[in-house]
Amino acid sequence: EIVLTQSPGTLSLSPGERATLSCRASQSVSSSYLAWYQQKPGQAPRLLIYGASNRATGIPDRFSGSGSGTDFTLTISRLEPEDFAVYYCQQYGSSHSFTFGPGTKVDIK
Amino acid sequence: EVQLVESGGGLVQPGGSLRLSCAASGFTFSNYWMSWVRQAPGKGLEWVANIKQDGSEESYVDSVKGRFTISRDNAKNSLYLQMNSLRAEDTAVYYCARERGLRYFENWGQGTLVTVSS
């Protein structure tokens, strides 16, 4: 089973700053099967990025994804007030199963 | 507009059972794999189970195998999760999610809270 590790656990930044979130897999993951989600308190997760680098419908272009193999990155180029949230990476594995990373919280400095 | 609306959550004693439902609308339900994903209070996301478009294939996370059963009724555009032998560690918000190409979750419901406690 592939384990996803996210770092840092918490990222404290100010609006307008750049956020770089890391997702590392214990084994190589096909880029096609790596996704990122945003979750705000009391809300369901929202798909941001799929296939490691493709923005989902309606997602602003300040969000970008990159990476391959075992190392993937979500970048928010300039933080807006509504971007402070928890971010999860997710991979699709064998036997039609999925795993999520533990999440990175982006909070206001 | 895609809508997924869960129901059926509540308080149940350890060892008890509960059946969750998810009503889907705004898309052709029978064309998609569907999943249940849960989130324990203050914790991260955990995929629980999924089911193929025609119901012929199911998969489960190891911790619920033999206790939970996922099913669907394409005529009613509905997804279900039968949960038996519930444990305290099953306490979570349960989300219904539409899969895209067996790769990611494109749409999510608002969730329903299941609390297992005596």
- Comparing CA positions, the residue from B29, B46, B40, B104 lying closest to residue A59 is B104
What pLDDT shows up at residue A32? 87
pLDDT digits (tens, 9 = 90+) for A82-96: 999 999 999 998 777
Provide, as residue numbers in chain A, all residues whose Cβ is less than 8 Å from the Cβ of B45: 37, 39, 45, 88, 90, 100, 103
Q: A45 vs B108: CB contact, 8 Å cut-off?
A: yes
Decide: A77 and A87 in contact? Cβ < 8 Å.
no
Contact A56 B103 (CB under 8 A): no
Chain A residues 29-58 with CB within 8 Å of chain B: 32-33, 35, 37, 39, 43-47, 50-51, 56
Question: Under an 8 A CB cutoff, do B105 and A45 touch?
Answer: yes
Q: Please compute the mean of the pLDDT values over residues A15-31 and round it to a whole number.
A: 95
Q: Would you say residue A70 has pLDDT above 90?
A: yes
Mean of pLDDT values over B78-93 = 98
% chain B with pLDDT above 70 = 100
Shortest Cα–Cα distance, B20 to chain A (Å):
17
Chain A residues with CB-CB distance to B64 below 8 A: none
The whole-number pLDDT of residue A1 equals 84
Gyration radius of chain A over CA positions? 13
Q: Which of B68, B79, B27 is nearest to B46 (CA)?
A: B68
pLDDT at A72 over 80: yes
CB contacts of A88 in chain B (<8 Å) are 44-45
Is it the case that residue A49 has pLDDT exceeding 80?
yes
CA distance A24 to chain B (A): 16
pLDDT at A11 over 80: yes
CB B93 within 8 A of CB A27: no
Output the average pLDDT for chain B: 97
Tell if the CB–CB gap between B103 and A99 is shorter than 8 Å.
no
User: Given a cut of 80, is residue B102 above it in pLDDT?
Assistant: no
Q: Percentage of chain A with pLDDT > 70?
A: 100
pLDDT value, residue A95: 76
CA distance B30 to chain A (A): 18
Tell me the pLDDT of chain A averaged across its residues: 95
pLDDT band at A58 (very low <50, low <70, confident <90, very high): very high
Q: B residues 71-110 near A, CB within 8 Å?
A: 95, 100, 102-110
**Amino acid letter, B2:** V
Check whether B101 has a pLDDT greater than 90.
Answer: no
Give pLDDT tens digits for B29-80. 999 999 999 999 999 999 999 999 999 999 999 999 999 999 999 999 999 9
Q: What is the distance between the alpha carbons of residues A49 and B104, in angstroms, rounded to a whole number?
A: 9
Q: What are phi and psi of B95, to 5 degrees?
A: -105, 140
pLDDT band at A22 (very low <50, low <70, confident <90, very high): very high
What pLDDT is attached to residue A71? Answer: 97
pLDDT score at A27: 93
Would you say how long chain B is, in residues? 118
A17 touches chain B (CB under 8 A): no
